[in-house]
């Protein structure tokens, strides 16, 4: 879902433009969710890389 076609009930403007605090909050809620789900994925990749490095060091010792 995107805010491209949503109209704000408070100011009657497009939510995408963020004219009022309600628009800006709705826009942030819709667009903020994507970044939230990317963070755990990046953390998991970083943990896997550290574990692989530790295993490689252990095997060569």
DSSP letter string, 24-56: HHHHHHHHHHHHHHHHHHHHHHHHHHHHHHHHH
- pLDDT tens-digit readout, 20-57: 999 888 888 887 655 556 678 889 999 999 999 999 99
Beta bridge partners of 7: 14
Per-chain mean pLDDT for the chain? 84
pLDDT at 36: 53
pLDDT at 12: 92
pLDDT at 37: 60
Q: What is the mean pLDDT of residues 9-21?
A: 90
């Amino acid at each position: 879902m995107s805010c491209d076609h949503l109209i704000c009930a408070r100011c009657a403007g497009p939510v995408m433009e963020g004219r009022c605090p309600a628009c800006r909050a709705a826009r942030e809620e819709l667009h903020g969710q994507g970044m939230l789900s990317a963070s755990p994925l990046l953390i998991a990749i970083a943990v896997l890389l550290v574990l692989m490095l530790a295993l490689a060091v252990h095997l060569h010792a």
